[in-house]
Amino acid sequence: MRTNLASLAPELIQQIGTELGNNVTELRLVCKRMSTVLESHILRSIAIDITKPRLDLGISQLTTLATQGNHAETATHDLHIRYLCPSKDPSNRSPNWMFDADTEEWVERPPTPCPPEVKIAEEKMQAMLQLAIASLSNLRSLKWNIGRYDSKWTLTAVMNAVKTLPLLESLELNVGIFDMADLQLQSLRNLRSIKISAPNNEYFTNIIEPLSLLIANSPNLHTLHVAPMYGPVASLHHLLRNCSPNLVLPLKHLGLQGFSLKLDSTTLPHLHHLTSLTLHHVTTSESDPDEAYVGKAESSHPDEIWAILKTTDVRLDSIDVNHISTTLLDYISLYSGLKKLHLAPINLKTQEQSDLAANQFYNLCLGKHTSSLEELIVMAGYEGGWCFGDQALVVISLCKKLKILEGCLVSEALDDAVKSLIDVTTQLPRMEKLTIHSADLELLRGAICGNATMGHFQDVRTQLSRYIREYEATESSKPVPLILVHSRKFTMAPSEGAGSAGGALRYQCDSDEPFVIFE
Protein backbone atom coordinates (compact mmCIF):
# COMPACT_ATOMS: atom_id res chain seq x y z
CA MET A 1 0.00 0.00 0.00
CA ARG A 2 1.42 3.33 -1.06
CA THR A 3 0.92 6.47 1.02
CA ASN A 4 0.79 9.88 -0.63
CA LEU A 5 3.26 12.19 1.11
CA ALA A 6 0.78 15.05 1.14
CA SER A 7 -1.81 12.88 2.94
CA LEU A 8 0.40 12.35 6.00
CA ALA A 9 -0.50 13.89 9.34
CA PRO A 10 0.92 17.41 9.86
CA GLU A 11 3.09 16.16 12.72
CA LEU A 12 4.77 13.60 10.44
CA ILE A 13 5.31 16.17 7.69
CA GLN A 14 6.94 18.53 10.17
CA GLN A 15 9.16 15.72 11.45
CA ILE A 16 10.25 15.04 7.85
CA GLY A 17 10.97 18.76 7.53
CA THR A 18 13.17 18.62 10.61
CA GLU A 19 15.19 15.75 9.12
CA LEU A 20 15.62 17.65 5.85
CA GLY A 21 17.22 20.63 7.56
CA ASN A 22 17.95 23.44 5.10
CA ASN A 23 16.41 21.43 2.25
CA VAL A 24 12.94 21.75 3.77
CA THR A 25 12.19 24.71 1.47
CA GLU A 26 12.18 22.31 -1.49
CA LEU A 27 9.53 20.18 0.20
CA ARG A 28 7.33 23.28 0.59
CA LEU A 29 7.19 23.56 -3.20
CA VAL A 30 5.52 20.16 -3.62
CA CYS A 31 1.98 21.45 -3.09
CA LYS A 32 -0.11 24.03 -1.28
CA ARG A 33 -0.76 21.76 1.72
CA MET A 34 2.96 21.10 2.18
CA SER A 35 3.62 24.81 2.07
CA THR A 36 0.95 25.52 4.68
CA VAL A 37 2.01 22.74 7.07
CA LEU A 38 5.71 23.59 6.87
CA GLU A 39 5.37 27.37 7.05
CA SER A 40 5.31 27.46 10.83
CA HIS A 41 8.19 24.98 10.89
CA ILE A 42 10.35 27.22 8.70
CA LEU A 43 9.41 30.38 10.56
CA ARG A 44 10.23 28.83 13.95
CA SER A 45 13.78 30.19 13.64
CA ILE A 46 14.47 33.38 11.69
CA ALA A 47 17.40 35.78 11.29
CA ILE A 48 17.51 39.52 10.74
CA ASP A 49 20.55 40.37 8.65
CA ILE A 50 20.73 43.91 7.25
CA THR A 51 23.97 44.75 5.46
CA LYS A 52 24.92 46.67 2.36
CA PRO A 53 24.94 43.64 -0.06
CA ARG A 54 21.42 42.56 0.96
CA LEU A 55 19.59 45.80 1.72
CA ASP A 56 16.49 45.02 -0.33
CA LEU A 57 16.04 41.56 1.21
CA GLY A 58 16.67 42.79 4.76
CA ILE A 59 14.33 45.77 4.55
CA SER A 60 11.67 43.64 2.85
CA GLN A 61 11.84 41.18 5.75
CA LEU A 62 11.50 44.00 8.31
CA THR A 63 8.50 45.35 6.40
CA THR A 64 6.81 41.96 6.52
CA LEU A 65 7.51 41.48 10.23
CA ALA A 66 6.29 44.99 11.06
CA THR A 67 2.99 44.35 9.25
CA GLN A 68 0.12 43.20 11.43
CA GLY A 69 -1.04 39.67 10.73
CA ASN A 70 2.33 38.30 9.52
CA HIS A 71 2.67 34.55 10.09
CA ALA A 72 5.88 34.92 12.10
CA GLU A 73 3.96 36.63 14.91
CA THR A 74 3.01 33.31 16.47
CA ALA A 75 5.28 30.86 14.65
CA THR A 76 8.72 32.29 15.50
CA HIS A 77 10.37 31.02 18.68
CA ASP A 78 14.03 31.81 17.93
CA LEU A 79 15.47 35.05 16.53
CA HIS A 80 19.07 35.70 15.54
CA ILE A 81 19.98 39.35 14.90
CA ARG A 82 23.16 39.10 12.84
CA TYR A 83 23.70 42.63 11.49
CA LEU A 84 21.81 45.91 11.82
CA CYS A 85 24.23 47.94 9.75
CA PRO A 86 23.13 48.90 6.21
CA SER A 87 26.51 50.51 5.49
CA LYS A 88 28.50 47.35 6.32
CA ASP A 89 29.82 44.94 3.72
CA PRO A 90 30.91 41.73 5.53
CA SER A 91 32.97 40.67 2.51
CA ASN A 92 35.11 43.83 2.73
CA ARG A 93 38.18 42.91 4.77
CA SER A 94 40.00 46.22 4.44
CA PRO A 95 41.83 47.21 7.66
CA ASN A 96 39.92 49.42 10.07
CA TRP A 97 43.06 51.31 11.11
CA MET A 98 45.53 53.40 9.16
CA PHE A 99 48.83 55.11 9.93
CA ASP A 100 48.68 58.90 10.09
CA ALA A 101 52.04 60.21 8.85
CA ASP A 102 51.41 63.67 10.33
CA THR A 103 50.81 62.48 13.90
CA GLU A 104 52.82 59.26 13.47
CA GLU A 105 50.01 57.34 15.11
CA TRP A 106 47.57 54.64 14.11
CA VAL A 107 44.05 56.04 13.79
CA GLU A 108 40.70 54.57 12.89
CA ARG A 109 39.98 54.80 9.18
CA PRO A 110 37.22 57.36 8.53
CA PRO A 111 33.95 55.91 7.27
CA THR A 112 33.18 56.18 3.58
CA PRO A 113 30.25 58.44 2.65
CA CYS A 114 26.93 56.59 2.68
CA PRO A 115 25.19 56.24 -0.69
CA PRO A 116 21.52 57.29 -0.86
CA GLU A 117 20.19 53.72 -0.65
CA VAL A 118 21.99 53.21 2.68
CA LYS A 119 20.46 56.36 4.15
CA ILE A 120 17.02 55.30 2.95
CA ALA A 121 17.48 51.84 4.48
CA GLU A 122 18.54 53.40 7.79
CA GLU A 123 15.38 55.54 7.83
CA LYS A 124 13.18 52.51 7.13
CA MET A 125 14.95 50.56 9.86
CA GLN A 126 14.25 53.33 12.36
CA ALA A 127 10.58 53.21 11.46
CA MET A 128 10.16 49.42 11.55
CA LEU A 129 12.83 47.63 13.64
CA GLN A 130 11.11 47.96 17.01
CA LEU A 131 7.71 47.09 15.56
CA ALA A 132 9.11 44.06 13.74
CA ILE A 133 10.72 42.51 16.82
CA ALA A 134 7.85 43.41 19.15
CA SER A 135 5.46 41.56 16.81
CA LEU A 136 7.09 38.19 17.64
CA SER A 137 4.80 37.51 20.59
CA ASN A 138 5.84 33.85 20.96
CA LEU A 139 9.58 34.51 20.90
CA ARG A 140 11.50 32.33 23.37
CA SER A 141 15.12 32.87 22.38
CA LEU A 142 17.14 35.87 21.15
CA LYS A 143 20.71 35.74 19.91
CA TRP A 144 22.02 39.21 19.13
CA ASN A 145 25.33 40.20 17.60
CA ILE A 146 25.78 43.84 18.61
CA GLY A 147 28.09 45.16 15.90
CA ARG A 148 30.76 47.79 16.31
CA TYR A 149 29.27 49.95 13.56
CA ASP A 150 25.61 49.52 14.43
CA SER A 151 23.85 52.84 15.00
CA LYS A 152 23.32 53.70 18.67
CA TRP A 153 19.58 53.92 18.23
CA THR A 154 19.39 50.19 17.40
CA LEU A 155 20.25 49.29 21.02
CA THR A 156 17.27 51.24 22.31
CA ALA A 157 14.93 50.00 19.59
CA VAL A 158 15.75 46.34 20.10
CA MET A 159 15.62 46.51 23.90
CA ASN A 160 12.33 48.44 23.85
CA ALA A 161 10.88 45.65 21.73
CA VAL A 162 12.42 42.75 23.63
CA LYS A 163 11.20 43.85 27.04
CA THR A 164 7.60 43.61 25.76
CA LEU A 165 7.92 39.94 24.76
CA PRO A 166 6.17 37.89 27.47
CA LEU A 167 7.68 34.47 26.72
CA LEU A 168 11.34 35.37 26.18
CA GLU A 169 13.50 33.08 28.31
CA SER A 170 16.90 32.91 26.59
CA LEU A 171 19.24 35.80 25.75
CA GLU A 172 22.63 35.45 24.04
CA LEU A 173 24.65 38.61 23.34
CA ASN A 174 27.88 38.95 21.39
CA VAL A 175 28.95 42.47 22.30
CA GLY A 176 31.02 44.40 19.77
CA ILE A 177 30.75 48.03 20.89
CA PHE A 178 32.26 50.07 23.72
CA ASP A 179 29.30 52.26 24.69
CA MET A 180 26.69 49.99 26.23
CA ALA A 181 24.85 52.68 28.20
CA ASP A 182 21.67 52.16 26.15
CA LEU A 183 21.63 48.39 26.70
CA GLN A 184 19.17 48.34 29.58
CA LEU A 185 19.57 44.71 30.61
CA GLN A 186 17.89 45.38 33.94
CA SER A 187 14.63 46.08 32.10
CA LEU A 188 14.23 42.37 31.27
CA ARG A 189 12.60 39.80 33.55
CA ASN A 190 12.36 36.07 34.16
CA LEU A 191 15.09 34.79 31.84
CA ARG A 192 16.16 31.18 32.16
CA SER A 193 19.34 31.39 30.11
CA ILE A 194 21.85 34.27 29.82
CA LYS A 195 25.01 34.13 27.70
CA ILE A 196 27.14 37.22 27.13
CA SER A 197 30.51 37.46 25.41
CA ALA A 198 32.72 40.44 24.57
CA PRO A 199 36.26 40.86 23.21
CA ASN A 200 37.71 42.65 26.25
CA ASN A 201 37.03 44.42 29.53
CA GLU A 202 36.29 47.82 27.98
CA TYR A 203 33.29 46.36 26.18
CA PHE A 204 32.11 44.48 29.21
CA THR A 205 32.68 46.19 32.53
CA ASN A 206 29.94 48.80 32.21
CA ILE A 207 27.21 46.16 31.91
CA ILE A 208 28.25 44.12 34.97
CA GLU A 209 25.84 46.03 37.22
CA PRO A 210 22.84 45.87 34.80
CA LEU A 211 23.62 42.17 34.29
CA SER A 212 23.60 41.64 38.04
CA LEU A 213 20.17 43.29 38.22
CA LEU A 214 18.92 41.11 35.37
CA ILE A 215 20.11 37.99 37.20
CA ALA A 216 18.30 39.15 40.33
CA ASN A 217 15.15 39.59 38.20
CA SER A 218 15.40 36.02 36.88
CA PRO A 219 14.56 33.63 39.74
CA ASN A 220 14.37 30.60 37.41
CA LEU A 221 17.78 31.15 35.81
CA HIS A 222 19.40 27.80 34.98
CA THR A 223 22.16 28.86 32.53
CA LEU A 224 24.70 31.65 32.99
CA HIS A 225 27.75 32.03 30.73
CA VAL A 226 29.80 35.23 30.85
CA ALA A 227 33.09 35.73 28.99
CA PRO A 228 35.71 36.96 28.74
CA MET A 229 37.28 39.26 31.29
CA TYR A 230 41.00 39.90 31.58
CA GLY A 231 42.47 40.56 34.99
CA PRO A 232 40.75 40.34 38.40
CA VAL A 233 38.05 42.93 37.79
CA ALA A 234 34.82 40.98 38.33
CA SER A 235 33.63 37.95 40.26
CA LEU A 236 30.63 35.67 40.61
CA HIS A 237 29.92 37.65 43.78
CA HIS A 238 29.53 40.76 41.61
CA LEU A 239 27.00 38.97 39.41
CA LEU A 240 24.98 37.77 42.40
CA ARG A 241 25.21 40.90 44.55
CA ASN A 242 21.68 42.12 43.77
CA CYS A 243 19.97 38.81 44.52
CA SER A 244 17.76 39.00 47.59
CA PRO A 245 18.88 36.85 50.55
CA ASN A 246 15.96 34.46 50.12
CA LEU A 247 16.53 33.94 46.37
CA VAL A 248 18.35 30.74 45.42
CA LEU A 249 18.94 30.41 41.68
CA PRO A 250 18.46 26.90 40.23
CA LEU A 251 21.68 27.15 38.20
CA LYS A 252 22.53 24.04 36.19
CA HIS A 253 25.07 25.48 33.74
CA LEU A 254 27.70 28.03 34.77
CA GLY A 255 30.45 29.37 32.53
CA LEU A 256 32.98 32.00 33.62
CA GLN A 257 36.02 33.19 31.66
CA GLY A 258 38.42 35.56 33.37
CA PHE A 259 36.18 35.97 36.41
CA SER A 260 37.13 35.43 40.00
CA LEU A 261 35.28 32.68 41.80
CA LYS A 262 34.98 31.75 45.44
CA LEU A 263 32.70 29.05 46.75
CA ASP A 264 31.22 30.22 50.05
CA SER A 265 27.92 30.88 51.77
CA THR A 266 27.06 33.51 49.13
CA THR A 267 27.68 31.48 45.97
CA LEU A 268 27.31 27.81 46.95
CA PRO A 269 23.54 27.87 47.56
CA HIS A 270 23.04 28.80 43.89
CA LEU A 271 25.17 25.85 42.72
CA HIS A 272 23.48 22.89 44.43
CA HIS A 273 21.82 21.84 41.14
CA LEU A 274 24.89 22.49 38.97
CA THR A 275 25.58 19.87 36.27
CA SER A 276 27.88 21.82 33.91
CA LEU A 277 30.83 24.06 34.81
CA THR A 278 33.14 26.00 32.48
CA LEU A 279 36.07 27.84 34.08
CA HIS A 280 38.68 29.51 31.88
CA HIS A 281 41.44 31.82 33.13
CA VAL A 282 40.09 32.01 36.65
CA THR A 283 41.67 35.06 38.29
CA THR A 284 42.48 35.81 41.90
CA SER A 285 43.10 39.00 43.82
CA GLU A 286 46.81 38.14 43.74
CA SER A 287 46.90 37.90 39.92
CA ASP A 288 47.37 41.66 39.55
CA PRO A 289 46.92 43.38 42.93
CA ASP A 290 47.49 46.86 41.48
CA GLU A 291 44.56 46.46 39.08
CA ALA A 292 42.23 44.38 41.22
CA TYR A 293 39.02 45.47 42.78
CA VAL A 294 38.13 41.88 43.56
CA GLY A 295 39.23 41.16 47.11
CA LYS A 296 40.27 37.89 48.70
CA ALA A 297 36.75 37.46 50.03
CA GLU A 298 35.50 37.00 46.45
CA SER A 299 38.30 34.98 44.83
CA SER A 300 39.95 31.61 45.29
CA HIS A 301 42.75 29.70 43.62
CA PRO A 302 41.31 27.06 41.25
CA ASP A 303 42.71 24.31 43.51
CA GLU A 304 40.51 25.55 46.35
CA ILE A 305 37.43 25.61 44.11
CA TRP A 306 37.71 21.90 43.34
CA ALA A 307 38.66 21.05 46.91
CA ILE A 308 35.41 22.61 48.11
CA LEU A 309 33.34 20.97 45.36
CA LYS A 310 34.65 17.60 46.59
CA THR A 311 32.95 18.24 49.92
CA THR A 312 29.56 18.96 48.33
CA ASP A 313 26.97 16.76 46.63
CA VAL A 314 27.61 18.45 43.27
CA ARG A 315 28.62 15.85 40.71
CA LEU A 316 29.07 17.49 37.31
CA ASP A 317 28.31 15.76 34.01
CA SER A 318 30.15 18.45 31.98
CA ILE A 319 33.51 20.07 32.83
CA ASP A 320 35.45 22.54 30.66
CA VAL A 321 38.62 23.97 32.24
CA ASN A 322 42.07 25.20 31.27
CA HIS A 323 43.68 24.93 34.70
CA ILE A 324 44.60 21.36 35.63
CA SER A 325 45.40 20.47 39.21
CA THR A 326 45.57 17.45 41.48
CA THR A 327 42.40 18.59 43.25
CA LEU A 328 40.52 18.72 39.93
CA LEU A 329 41.70 15.23 39.01
CA ASP A 330 40.80 13.98 42.49
CA TYR A 331 37.31 15.43 42.03
CA ILE A 332 36.89 13.70 38.64
CA SER A 333 37.99 10.42 40.27
CA LEU A 334 35.33 10.68 42.97
CA TYR A 335 32.38 9.57 40.87
CA SER A 336 31.10 8.26 37.54
CA GLY A 337 28.79 9.88 35.01
CA LEU A 338 30.70 12.59 33.13
CA LYS A 339 29.30 13.16 29.63
CA LYS A 340 31.48 16.04 28.41
CA LEU A 341 35.06 16.73 29.44
CA HIS A 342 37.21 19.51 27.94
CA LEU A 343 40.73 19.90 29.34
CA ALA A 344 43.44 22.36 28.29
CA PRO A 345 46.46 22.08 30.65
CA ILE A 346 47.92 25.54 29.97
CA ASN A 347 49.03 26.10 33.56
CA LEU A 348 51.52 23.20 33.77
CA LYS A 349 54.89 24.86 33.28
CA THR A 350 57.28 21.90 33.07
CA GLN A 351 57.29 18.60 31.23
CA GLU A 352 57.52 16.74 34.52
CA GLN A 353 54.41 18.47 35.95
CA SER A 354 52.49 17.96 32.72
CA ASP A 355 53.28 14.26 32.31
CA LEU A 356 52.60 13.54 35.99
CA ALA A 357 49.12 15.09 35.72
CA ALA A 358 48.45 13.30 32.41
CA ASN A 359 49.37 9.93 33.92
CA GLN A 360 46.98 10.56 36.81
CA PHE A 361 44.22 11.53 34.39
CA TYR A 362 44.50 8.58 31.99
CA ASN A 363 45.32 5.97 34.66
CA LEU A 364 43.01 6.97 37.53
CA CYS A 365 40.37 9.45 36.32
CA LEU A 366 39.12 8.77 32.81
CA GLY A 367 38.33 5.12 33.52
CA LYS A 368 35.64 6.19 36.00
CA HIS A 369 33.58 7.67 33.15
CA THR A 370 33.96 5.23 30.26
CA SER A 371 30.32 4.14 30.49
CA SER A 372 28.94 7.69 30.17
CA LEU A 373 31.41 9.90 28.27
CA GLU A 374 30.08 11.33 24.99
CA GLU A 375 32.58 14.11 24.30
CA LEU A 376 36.28 14.23 25.17
CA ILE A 377 38.53 17.15 24.22
CA VAL A 378 42.12 17.27 25.46
CA MET A 379 44.09 20.24 24.13
CA ALA A 380 47.72 19.40 24.85
CA GLY A 381 49.95 22.45 24.63
CA TYR A 382 53.09 20.37 24.14
CA GLU A 383 53.81 16.89 22.89
CA GLY A 384 53.89 14.51 25.81
CA GLY A 385 51.61 12.62 28.17
CA TRP A 386 48.44 14.55 27.34
CA CYS A 387 48.61 13.51 23.67
CA PHE A 388 46.62 10.51 22.48
CA GLY A 389 49.30 7.84 22.84
CA ASP A 390 48.94 4.14 23.66
CA GLN A 391 48.14 4.81 27.31
CA ALA A 392 45.29 7.16 26.44
CA LEU A 393 43.89 5.06 23.61
CA VAL A 394 43.44 2.00 25.82
CA VAL A 395 41.02 3.92 28.04
CA ILE A 396 39.38 5.83 25.19
CA SER A 397 38.57 2.55 23.43
CA LEU A 398 36.32 1.67 26.38
CA CYS A 399 34.17 4.81 25.96
CA LYS A 400 31.45 3.16 23.87
CA LYS A 401 29.12 6.19 23.98
CA LEU A 402 31.78 8.59 22.70
CA LYS A 403 30.59 10.80 19.82
CA ILE A 404 33.19 13.57 19.68
CA LEU A 405 36.92 13.15 20.26
CA GLU A 406 39.48 15.95 19.95
CA GLY A 407 43.15 16.07 20.81
CA CYS A 408 46.79 15.92 19.73
CA LEU A 409 49.32 13.34 18.63
CA VAL A 410 53.07 13.12 19.14
CA SER A 411 54.79 13.91 15.84
CA GLU A 412 57.42 11.18 16.19
CA ALA A 413 56.18 8.08 14.32
CA LEU A 414 53.11 10.05 13.33
CA ASP A 415 52.01 7.50 10.73
CA ASP A 416 51.62 4.80 13.39
CA ALA A 417 49.94 7.27 15.76
CA VAL A 418 47.34 8.25 13.15
CA LYS A 419 46.59 4.62 12.31
CA SER A 420 46.25 3.65 15.98
CA LEU A 421 43.91 6.56 16.68
CA ILE A 422 41.61 5.86 13.72
CA ASP A 423 41.67 2.15 14.55
CA VAL A 424 40.33 2.97 18.01
CA THR A 425 37.36 4.79 16.47
CA THR A 426 36.29 1.52 14.82
CA GLN A 427 35.62 0.25 18.36
CA LEU A 428 33.39 3.23 19.18
CA PRO A 429 30.02 2.68 17.47
CA ARG A 430 28.62 6.18 18.11
CA MET A 431 31.61 8.22 16.94
CA GLU A 432 30.64 11.19 14.76
CA LYS A 433 33.70 13.43 14.63
CA LEU A 434 37.43 13.24 15.33
CA THR A 435 39.52 16.43 15.44
CA ILE A 436 43.32 16.23 15.46
CA HIS A 437 45.50 19.19 16.44
CA SER A 438 49.20 19.93 16.37
CA ALA A 439 50.99 20.27 19.71
CA ASP A 440 54.22 22.18 20.22
CA LEU A 441 57.51 20.35 20.61
CA GLU A 442 58.61 20.00 24.22
CA LEU A 443 62.04 21.45 23.37
CA LEU A 444 60.26 24.67 22.30
CA ARG A 445 58.64 25.17 25.73
CA GLY A 446 59.44 28.73 26.75
CA ALA A 447 60.80 29.71 23.33
CA ILE A 448 60.64 33.47 22.67
CA CYS A 449 60.36 33.34 18.88
CA GLY A 450 57.38 31.53 17.36
CA ASN A 451 58.84 30.77 13.92
CA ALA A 452 59.95 27.26 14.88
CA THR A 453 56.52 26.51 16.36
CA MET A 454 54.65 27.68 13.25
CA GLY A 455 56.94 25.67 11.00
CA HIS A 456 56.40 22.59 13.17
CA PHE A 457 52.61 23.03 13.11
CA GLN A 458 52.54 23.30 9.33
CA ASP A 459 54.75 20.24 8.91
CA VAL A 460 52.59 18.16 11.27
CA ARG A 461 49.38 19.21 9.53
CA THR A 462 50.82 18.24 6.16
CA GLN A 463 51.86 14.84 7.50
CA LEU A 464 48.48 14.31 9.15
CA SER A 465 46.75 14.97 5.85
CA ARG A 466 48.92 12.41 4.09
CA TYR A 467 48.55 9.66 6.69
CA ILE A 468 44.79 10.14 6.99
CA ARG A 469 44.44 9.81 3.21
CA GLU A 470 46.55 6.64 3.30
CA TYR A 471 44.42 4.99 5.97
CA GLU A 472 42.40 2.16 4.43
CA ALA A 473 39.26 0.62 5.85
CA THR A 474 36.46 -1.67 4.84
CA GLU A 475 32.73 -1.12 5.13
CA SER A 476 32.58 -3.55 8.03
CA SER A 477 35.25 -1.77 10.11
CA LYS A 478 33.36 1.58 10.22
CA PRO A 479 35.93 4.13 11.37
CA VAL A 480 34.84 7.64 12.34
CA PRO A 481 33.00 9.24 9.36
CA LEU A 482 34.50 12.73 9.75
CA ILE A 483 38.02 13.85 10.65
CA LEU A 484 39.03 17.51 11.00
CA VAL A 485 42.58 18.82 10.79
CA HIS A 486 42.84 22.59 11.15
CA SER A 487 40.31 23.81 8.54
CA ARG A 488 40.28 20.59 6.49
CA LYS A 489 37.51 17.99 6.45
CA PHE A 490 38.20 14.33 5.69
CA THR A 491 35.28 12.04 4.90
CA MET A 492 35.24 8.34 4.05
CA ALA A 493 34.62 7.25 0.45
CA PRO A 494 35.41 4.21 -1.76
CA SER A 495 39.07 4.22 -2.79
CA GLU A 496 39.96 4.38 -6.48
CA GLY A 497 40.13 1.02 -8.19
CA ALA A 498 38.63 -0.79 -5.20
CA GLY A 499 35.76 -2.13 -7.27
CA SER A 500 33.62 -4.80 -5.67
CA ALA A 501 36.50 -7.08 -4.71
CA GLY A 502 37.88 -5.45 -1.60
CA GLY A 503 35.30 -2.80 -0.81
CA ALA A 504 38.17 -0.63 0.37
CA LEU A 505 37.44 2.84 1.76
CA ARG A 506 39.74 5.81 2.21
CA TYR A 507 39.42 9.33 3.53
CA GLN A 508 39.08 12.14 1.01
CA CYS A 509 39.81 15.78 1.80
CA ASP A 510 37.66 18.76 0.86
CA SER A 511 40.77 20.68 -0.25
CA ASP A 512 44.03 19.87 -2.00
CA GLU A 513 45.60 23.23 -1.19
CA PRO A 514 48.73 23.17 1.02
CA PHE A 515 48.35 24.22 4.64
CA VAL A 516 49.08 27.90 5.27
CA ILE A 517 50.70 29.10 8.49
CA PHE A 518 48.67 32.31 8.73
CA GLU A 519 44.95 32.23 8.00
- Domain that includes residue 402, residue range: 315-518
Say which range, 99-108, 251-260, 340-349, has the weakest mean pLDDT. Answer: 99-108
Amino acid at 339: K
Whether 489 is covered by a domain: the verdict is yes
Q: ∠ CA 146-255-323 to the nearest 5 degrees?
A: 120
**424 or 446: whose pLDDT is higher?**
424
Q: Is 181 exposed, middle or buried (0-12, 13-18, 19+ CB in 10 A)?
A: exposed
Residue 347's CB is within 10 A of a number of other CB atoms, namely 17
What average pLDDT score do residues 89-104 get? 75
Say which range, 28-42, 68-82, 330-344, 430-444, has the weakest mean pLDDT. Answer: 28-42
CA gyration radius, the chain:
26
pLDDT winner (highest mean) among 153-157, 173-177, 209-213, 217-221: 217-221
Given a cut of 70, is residue 18 above it in pLDDT?
Answer: no
Task: Using the Cα atoms of residue 156, residue 158, residue 159 and residue 161 in order, give the sign of their dihedral.
Answer: positive
pLDDT winner (highest mean) among 46-55, 161-170, 191-200, 470-479: 161-170
Whether 413 is covered by a domain: the verdict is yes
Strand partners of residue 254: 224, 277
Given a cut of 80, is residue 227 above it in pLDDT?
Answer: yes
Whether 271 is covered by a domain: the verdict is no
Which pLDDT band holds residue 292 (cuts at 50, 70, 90)?
very low
Whether 324 is covered by a domain: the verdict is yes
**What confidence tens digit (pLDDT) does each residue in 56-83 have?**
999 999 999 998 887 888 889 999 999 9
Given a cut of 60, is residue 93 above it in pLDDT?
Answer: yes
Which residues lie closer than 8 Å to 132 by C-beta, 6 or more apart? Answer: 48, 62, 65, 66, 161
Whether 391 is covered by a domain: the verdict is yes
**94 or 35: whose pLDDT is higher?**
94
Q: Evaluate whether 411 touches 441 at the Cβ level (below 8 Å).
A: yes
Whether 404 is covered by a domain: the verdict is yes
> What gap in Å lies between CA 455 and CA 29, rounded to an integer?
52
Whether 471 is covered by a domain: the verdict is yes
Query: According to the model, what pLDDT value does residue 376 have?
Result: 98
> What gap in Å lies between CA 467 and CA 112, rounded to an integer?
49
Whether 367 is covered by a domain: the verdict is yes
Bond from prior residue into 113 cis (ω within 30 degrees of 0) = no
Query: pTM for the whole thing?
Result: 0.86
Query: According to the model, what pLDDT value does residue 30 have?
Result: 54
Q: How far is CA 355 from the centre of its chain?
A: 28
Query: According to the model, what pLDDT value does residue 355 have?
Result: 95
Average pLDDT for the chain: 87
Total domains in the fold of the chain: 2
Query: According to the model, what pLDDT value does residue 289 have?
Result: 47
